[in-house]
Amino acid sequence: MKSGSEQGTHVSSIGTVYRIVVRDELSGRFAAAFEGMEIETRCGRTILTGEVIDQAHLHGILDRINGLGLKLVSVESMPEDPYSSR
Amino acid sequence: MPRPEQLVRPRLLEPLRNASEYNKITLISAPAGYGKTTLLAQWLQAEEASLPFAWVSLDEQDNDPVRLWRHIIEAMCQVALEDEDFGADVLVTLSTAGQNFLEIGLPMLINELAEVPHRMIVVIDDYQFVTEERCHESVVYFLEHLPEKIHLILSSRSDPPLPLGRLRARGEMNETRAEQLAFSEEEAACLLNEKMELDIGPDDLSVLLERTEGWPAAIYLAALSMRNREDKHAFIESFRGSNRYIVDLLGEEVLACLREEVREFLLRTSILRRLTGPLCDAVVDREGSGKLLTEFSRANLFVVPLDEQGEWYRYHNLFSDLLLYELRSSYPELVPILHKRASVWLEGEKFFDAAIRHAVAATDYERAGLLVTRHWYEYVTAGQTKTVENWLESLPEELTTHDPALLLVRAWVCTLSGRGEDGERLLTRAESLPTEGPLPDGTVSVEAGVATIRGVFGLGGVQSTVEAARRAMALDTKRTSSLTGLMHFGLGSSLYLSGERSAARKQFEEALELTGTDQPMLRLVSVSYLSLVATDEGHLEEAESLAREACALVVRFGLQKVPQSSWAPIALGNMLAKRGDLVEAQTTLEDGLSTRRRLPGLSPWPTLIGLLALARVRSARGNRGGARETLAEARTILQTYPDAGIFPESLERQERGLRTIKRRDGSLDEELTRRELDVLHLLASEESTSQIAKRLYVAPSTVKTQVKSIYRKLGVSSRKEAVEDAYARGII
């Protein structure tokens, strides 16, 4: 049971943007597996880009990649956009 | 455990067999779709007769040390059949020790396992769901102390953070990885040409193997795609050059060449973890699903059978993912509707747990909450409080803190698990909310529900419990509640605790009238109380038969792990004590009490009954010191419960009895007063009279007078003699 008297989760800061590359190209159908991420395919690779709230979220994405038998090529955090507000 | 499919892979079975004899652990580590589970299932089915195994399939909820080990131990219980009590104590410790489980419970489990006379395999499938550090620590500990006859198999999609290097170096681990699990040419040929009769030539087979890298899931999907194709060679060539994710590519092919009817069926039923004809009919809103499933199974398409009768199936792992994603991307608005249909059918067939899961998946939390409040009692009374707890956790906090019916269920769960204070807080909150009318489980009103809990557990003290129980019954005018029997029990127990035995008996008998065999917990406690009544009245044969009935219920319904099952040994021990079977009485009582001691938040009344009986037994066996210890334990409990019915008097009487001492010639003498006893204890220390006086906050002259009195009553004339005599009599 969730305990504590939280008023409700309030995400105050922007998460980090990650760029995850997997081998092989995914169609829109499997884009649904990675909601909140943008999907781009190029030269036998799929690039997932999107905001990741925290480490747990990131590992969830990586687990899903593993769960689909996809081969992970790289994971990178992207520098923050200097024009975004805190 | 899943049933194995048809393709057998003997080259992989041999290492498993060897490992189970010579290694501590087998690790099967490979991504999804490599056939890990299938391999294990096949192997174990082949070995079934000679090698008992405990199988656990983990899911996300098992990423918690208590849940994980509960799951494992319960699976082990099913294997260790000669020992009905296997793991019972460990499971109780699980509920209480919490953080300290590693230090207390695991060693207990290891010891119990060491006593198992035969070999055992413990399989933990889908270990990748475990990520919590404490879980891994517990598994490492388990591995380090693993008894010889036990072999552990971990199957996971990723390498677990266990000391694998060390295990490898020591030769304690056998590994099977993706490389080994990938299909060989022979195996691919067997599947495609022999089983599925596709007639693929050796060159094409090579290409296929290369492109899929031997990944079994992909090969299987390829086989499905080629079923209805004329030119298989062209097909294989076409995806040889493709860059697409192979499940995506092949999945698309498979879906595209399906009959419309079949495609719709597969997509819609992809939301189900397990499929059966009528359930699928309900979900797709058409008939004929049963036939379809049988056809699929016979042709080795899409589904894996889960039983021998051919009633239940599941989809192949990655195939179901594929279907689900296709469903979500093509028909997103359908998803909650399908989940709701599933939930309704499952509820109708009394699969309440699955019904609730689907309701939650449909985000229909109102319905989910309704199902919980409608059916919680059936699970709780069968000792499955944990399931109800899981349900509550899957509901949004807003709902569980504002719906009075749900607050009541939460209060039950808390109190049963020994968190009575939390329970009371929830009750207070429930009472404060404005509601009217009956609750989904039939209880006439929130007020009645609250009164029932208070009336059953008696945590508010005996007198207030009597009042609560009476109020509950008064409100339950139409006797609509499934809890009516429980109300009678509540009243009966509080009457018993007030000393009104015959009125109590009537209530217990009434409770039993209203209770069927589907409410074993309620039967158990009612019968136990009746046994106590019979013992009090001297009808020992009746008392024994009732107590043994209670014990039989524990065994029959597997209730050893439920704390309230301790009622049975306490009632039995109480009868045995009265009958004079002191040795058996002591063991039985201590058995029941040890369970209750681990959960100090439980209701104190059965514990007190047990303690008083135990004290009598110990004293009768000559262990007056021990008896005094037991009574002291009882007195500590009573300190928290001022309103304690018959207990203060009973306790006082027994304490007095222990202070009475005989002269050497055997005749009873004056009792030592409590103060004199205190002084006597201190005489056994090296302290002087003035030091003793300081300790007791009295004047030294007072102590001197008390000492004189002690000497007189004991018939001694020196401090040394007094202490020796006191020890001999068991006074100190």
H or E element, residue B208: helix B202-212
Q: How far is residue B694's CA from residue B465's CA, in Å, rounded to a whole number?
A: 43
Asked if B325 and A30 come within 8 Å (Cβ–Cβ), the reply is yes
Mean pLDDT, chain B, rounded, equals 87
Q: How far is residue B675's CA from residue B661's CA, in Å, rounded to a whole number?
A: 15
When comparing pLDDT for B437 and A47, which is higher? A47
CATH number assigned to the domain comprising residue B583 = 1.25.40.10
Mean pLDDT on B230-246 = 86
- How far, CA to CA in Å, does B185 sit from each of B31, B128, B151, B706? 20, 29, 31, 96
Q: Is residue B111 part of a domain?
A: yes
Burial class of residue B540, CB neighbours in 10 A (0-12, 13-18, 19+): middle
Nearest residue on chain B to A59, judged by CA atoms?
Answer: B131
Of A63, A66, A69, the CB nearest to B247: A69
Nearest residue on chain A to B389, judged by CA atoms?
Answer: A1
> Does B393 reach chain A within 8 Å, measured CB to CB?
yes
> Does A26 reach chain B within 8 Å, measured CB to CB?
yes
When comparing pLDDT for B399 and B686, which is higher? B399
Mean pLDDT on B707-719 = 85
Q: Are B662 and B669 in contact (CB under 8 A)?
A: yes
Q: How far is residue A68's CA from residue B369's CA, in Å, rounded to a whole number?
A: 33
Of B158, B244, B389, the CB nearest to A24: B244
Q: Is residue B70 part of a domain?
A: yes
Q: Which of A68, A70, A71, A72 to mutate to test binding with chain B, by most B CBs within 10 Å of its CB? A: A68
HSE of B655 in the Cβ direction (CA atoms, 13 Å)? 16
Of B31, B217, B326, the CB nearest to A29: B326
H or E element, residue B344: helix B334-348
Smallest CA-to-CA distance from B370 within B338, B401, B411, B399 is with: B399
Q: Is residue B633 part of a domain?
A: yes
Residues B147 and B246 in one domain: no
Region class of B730: left (phi > 0), else alpha (psi between -120 and 50), else beta: left
Q: Where are the alpha helices (DSSP H) in B50-145?
A: 65-79, 88-97, 101-114, 133-144
Q: Is residue B356 part of a domain?
A: no
> Does A79 reach chain B within 8 Å, measured CB to CB?
no
Residues in Cβ contact with B50 at an 8 Å cutoff, skipping those fewer than 6 apart: none
Q: Beta B303-305 vs B313-315: how paired, if at all?
A: antiparallel
Residues B699 and B649 in one domain: no
Q: Is residue B415 part of a domain?
A: no
Least confident residue range of B3-12, B108-117, B248-257, B329-338: B3-12
Residues B62 and B192 in one domain: no
Q: Give the pLDDT band (50/70/90) at residue B96.
A: low
Tens digit of pLDDT for each residue in B567-621?
A: 999 999 999 998 888 899 999 999 899 888 877 778 899 999 999 999 989 988 8
Q: What is the pLDDT of residue B663?
A: 52
CATH number assigned to the domain comprising residue B41 = 3.40.50.300
Nearest residue on chain A to B245, judged by CA atoms?
Answer: A24
pLDDT of B395 higher than 90:
yes
pLDDT of B477 higher than 60:
yes
Asked if A1 and B131 come within 8 Å (Cβ–Cβ), the reply is no
Of B31, B248, B410, the CB nearest to A27: B248
Residue B681 domain boundaries: 674-729
What's the distance, CA B371 to chain centroid? 21
What's the distance, CA B436 to chain centroid? 34
Q: How far is residue B568's CA from residue B375's CA, in Å, rounded to a whole number?
A: 26
- Shortest distance between the Cα of A2 and any Cα of chain B, in A, equals 7
Residues B232 and B154 in one domain: no
Tell me the whole-structure pTM to 2 decimals. 0.71
Q: How far is residue B88's CA from residue B73's CA, in Å, rounded to a whole number?
A: 9
Tens digit of pLDDT for each residue in B294-306?
A: 999 887 788 888 8
Residues B20 and B169 in one domain: yes
Question: What is the sign of the dihedral through the CA atoms of B383, B384, B389 and B391?
Answer: negative
Burial class of residue B502, CB neighbours in 10 A (0-12, 13-18, 19+): exposed
Mean pLDDT on B197-217 = 90
pLDDT of B157 higher than 70:
yes
Residue with tokens 């041999």: B14
Q: What is the pLDDT of residue A2?
A: 40
CATH number assigned to the domain comprising residue B683 = 1.10.10.10
Q: Are B485 and B519 in contact (CB under 8 A)?
A: yes
Least confident residue range of B73-87, B324-338, B340-354, B662-676: B662-676
CA end-to-end span of chain B: 58
Q: What is the pLDDT of residue B728?
A: 67
Residues in Cβ contact with A26 at an 8 Å cutoff, skipping those fewer than 6 apart: A39, A41, A46, A70, B244, B245, B248
pLDDT of B662 higher than 70:
no
Residues in Cβ contact with B519 at an 8 Å cutoff, skipping those fewer than 6 apart: B381, B382, B485
Residues in Cβ contact with B26 at an 8 Å cutoff, skipping those fewer than 6 apart: B16, B19, B20, B151, B152, B153, B154, B173, B174, B175, B176
Q: Are B529 and B508 in contact (CB under 8 A)?
A: yes
Region class of B155: left (phi > 0), else alpha (psi between -120 and 50), else beta: beta
CA angle at residue B627 from B622 to B633, to 5 degrees?
Answer: 170
Mean pLDDT on A54-71 = 89
pLDDT of B240 higher than 60:
yes
Q: How far is residue B340's CA from residue B371's CA, in Å, rounded to a whole number?
A: 12
Q: Is residue B462 part of a domain?
A: no
Q: What is the pLDDT of residue B387?
A: 85
Region class of B468: left (phi > 0), else alpha (psi between -120 and 50), else beta: alpha
- Shortest distance between the Cα of B597 and any Cα of chain A, in A, equals 25
Region class of B580: left (phi > 0), else alpha (psi between -120 and 50), else beta: left
- Give the number of domains in chain B: 4
Residues B542 and B685 in one domain: no
Asked if A27 and B252 come within 8 Å (Cβ–Cβ), the reply is yes
Residues B77 and B134 in one domain: yes
Residues B171 and B88 in one domain: yes
Residues B35 and B174 in one domain: yes
Q: Is residue B380 part of a domain?
A: no
Q: Which of A7, A9, A30 to mutate to test binding with chain B, by most B CBs within 10 Å of its CB? A: A30
Q: What is the ipTM of this complex?
A: 0.77
Residues B625 and B702 in one domain: no
Q: What is the pLDDT of residue B620?
A: 85
Token reading at B87: 């793991």
Q: Which of B157, B221, B245 to mutate to test binding with chain A, by most A CBs within 10 Å of its CB? A: B245
Mean pLDDT on B366-394 = 88
pLDDT of A3 higher than 50:
no
Q: Are B129 and B138 in contact (CB under 8 A)?
A: no
Token reading at B8: 């057998």
Asked if B318 and A66 come within 8 Å (Cβ–Cβ), the reply is no
- Shortest distance between the Cα of A63 and any Cα of chain B, in A, equals 9
> Does B240 reach chain A within 8 Å, measured CB to CB?
no
Residues B641 and B702 in one domain: no
Asked if A29 and B392 come within 8 Å (Cβ–Cβ), the reply is no
When comparing pLDDT for B40 and B269, which is higher? B269
Tens digit of pLDDT for each residue in B125-151?
A: 999 989 888 889 999 999 999 998 999
Q: What is the pLDDT of residue B393?
A: 92
Residues B112 and B233 in one domain: no
- Shortest distance between the Cα of A5 and any Cα of chain B, in A, equals 10
Q: Are B405 and B436 in contact (CB under 8 A)?
A: no
> Does A46 reach chain B within 8 Å, measured CB to CB?
yes
Q: What is the pLDDT of residue A7?
A: 41
Of B157, B218, B248, the CB nearest to A67: B157
Tens digit of pLDDT for each residue in B481-527?
A: 678 888 899 999 999 999 999 999 999 999 998 887 778 888 999 99
- How far, CA to CA in Å, does B170 sit from each of B15, B16, B18, B146, B152? 17, 18, 16, 15, 16
Smallest CA-to-CA distance from B293 within B309, B284, B285, B305 is with: B305
> Does B215 reach chain A within 8 Å, measured CB to CB?
yes
Asked if A1 and B410 come within 8 Å (Cβ–Cβ), the reply is yes
Token reading at B136: 């891994």
pLDDT of B203 higher than 60:
yes
